[in-house]
Structure 1
Amino acid sequence: MYAWSTVTAIGFWIGTLLPVVYLPVFVAGIDSAQALTLLFGLLAVHALALIVGHGYDGSRTR
């Protein structure tokens, strides 16, 4: 049970902080297939992190 709560916490924080990484991608521009692949990869990781971190108890007020 402890391992899953750790994974959930990591997923939550990755899902929370990952949008900060989008800014440099947008500033650099999406003018190549490599940049577009990077953006789609970030979006996929972000979606997965949000799914995994959805049940994180530390994000709720008690």
Structure 2
Amino acid sequence: MSENKFESLEKEVLELIKLSQQLKEVNEHLSKKNQQLSQENNQLAKNLNTAKEGIAKIIKTYKD
């Protein structure tokens, strides 16, 4: 293998390693954000269920 081809491949490998690291960091960030949004969604679902139960009780009280 010629020296130029080797250097070119070496440069490409280094660029791919750098890109791989960047993708890993982005993936970690997105994973954390997804976890946070999932927790927020669960809390909102609980709040919604609590509100629905309260509204149902109020409606039942006025019907009776």
TM-score range, shorter chain: 0.3 to 0.5
Which structure ranks higher in relative contact order (CA pairs < 8 Å, sequence separation ≥ 6)? 1
After TM superposition, the score normalised by the length of structure 2 is: 0.38
Flag the structure with larger Rg: 2
